[in-house]
Amino acid sequence: MANDLTRSAVPGMRVYVSPRQAAHDPRNFLVAGRVRANPDVPARIDRLMSGIAEQGHAVLDPPDSGELYVRRVHTPDYVDFLRTAHERWAMNPNAGPEVVPNAHPRRARGPYPRSVVGQAGYHLSDLACPVGPHTWDAVLWNAHSAAAAALAVRHGAEREAYALCRPPGHHAGPDYAGGFCYLNNAAAAAEILRDRWDRVSILDIDVHHGNGTQDIFLERSDVQFVSLHGDPADFYPFFWGYAEEAGAGAGAGTTVNFPLPRGTGDDEYIRALDAALDRIRAYGPGALVVSLGLDAFVNDPLAFLGLTTAGFARIAARIAALGLPTVLVQEGGYMCDDLGRNLAAFLGSFQSGRTAQAVSA
């Protein structure tokens, strides 16, 4: 598959995904006191690809971009932990098949342990992110997909591009994993766009608040983070995503949160989205990253909100109307019959909106 950055004559948008992203196959997931099957299964890639098929999108294998971009948004200790953790873990007597913490720090920024067991508790913020033998390779290629999409937009090869990232990334903070997320693909994409544009906005429409993305850019004025999500008073990640969180220091005012009540449907969501888009317009970014979660769908296994397939099409049309160079980065959206259709509805509507803009220009 081609990796050049010349403008494509193929209809549709560029889709970046590596087959190596499927190698991460987590087994451990503890929720409500029970060990359950992890919902972030490799088959999510196939289900999402079903929504891309027959739409004319150019599906490309990303090039290897190394660790450059992930190290711009994550600490060296954290990246080194992910890269080496499983190998060191396996050397422990009676070690399980995956790195799973059994101790977490109770004080912020406490001493950094030398033991991989202690480091697991330091970096893995919940029990949804086991590190297996292939996790590092898979999540790094995930980041390569996001980087390739962002570079295509940054260099002007495309006005928009989509990175099919799996596992997702928006719960991964500067030095921690959480909520199935290990490396923050949307944050890396924003850093790449920042190399060209002075201001970049990230719009997160996943059903969960993107706490990792918020933490990465909390004190920066050059990247705006806007999120619509299930109310954290009742829903994961619980400790981030409240309306009063608005950034800090130089980033005061550049974090904008719209927590939504359980069961919010299309019309109520669109009203909140319109307010979110007004905040983006007022900020005046040169480019946009969309953390594209599809788990706000009414029948998603992790359902909290009540969006429909038609609702995703309406959301996409409004985002497209911003007219900004845009990188779409896949976040959540789990195994249900409509997952591929929801992605197809979003991408199709987004592209139709772009085509209409081009015709009227």
Q: Is residue 290 part of a domain?
A: yes
Q: Is residue 121 part of a domain?
A: no
Based on the residue annotation, tell me whether 171 is a catalytic residue of this protein.
Answer: yes
Q: Is residue 97 part of a domain?
A: no
Q: Is residue 83 part of a domain?
A: no
Task: Give the type of residue at 4.
Answer: D
CA–CA gap between residue 173 and residue 105 (Å, rounded): 16
Q: Which two tokens stand for residue 336?
A: 């249900």
Which of 159, 136, 139, 140 lies closest to 149 in space, CA to CA?
Answer: 159
Q: Is residue 81 part of a domain?
A: no
Angle at 140 between CA 350 and CA 46, to 5 degrees: 50
Full residue range of the structural domain in which residue 312 is found: 14-74+133-360
* Domain count for the chain: 1
Per-residue pLDDT of the chain (361 residues; tens, 9 = 90+): 333 333 333 358 999 999 999 999 999 898 888 889 999 999 999 999 999 997 889 999 999 999 999 999 999 999 999 999 999 999 999 899 999 999 888 776 778 999 999 999 999 999 999 999 999 999 999 999 999 999 999 999 999 999 999 999 999 999 999 999 999 999 999 999 999 999 999 999 999 999 999 999 999 999 999 999 999 999 999 999 999 999 999 999 999 999 999 999 999 999 999 999 999 999 999 999 999 999 999 999 998 999 999 999 999 999 999 999 999 999 999 999 999 999 999 999 999 988 777 777 6
Q: Is residue 63 part of a domain?
A: yes
Structural contact between residues 237 and 179, judged by C-beta atoms closer than 8 angstroms: yes
What's the whole-model pTM score?
Answer: 0.95
SS3 content of the chain, % helix, strand, coil (to 5): 35, 15, 50
Greatest distance between any 2 Cα atoms in the chain? 67
Q: Is 309 helix (H, G, I), strand (E, B) or coil?
A: helix
The verdict on whether omega for the bond into residue 285 sits within 30 degrees of 0, i.e. cis, is: no
Q: Is 267 helix (H, G, I), strand (E, B) or coil?
A: helix
Active-site position among 24, 74, 171, 209: 171
Q: Enumerate residues 6+ apart whose C-beta is below 8 A from 42.
A: 22, 23, 24, 25, 166
Which of 289, 214, 272 lies closest to 245 in space, CA to CA?
Answer: 214
CATH number of the domain at 245, please: 3.40.800.20
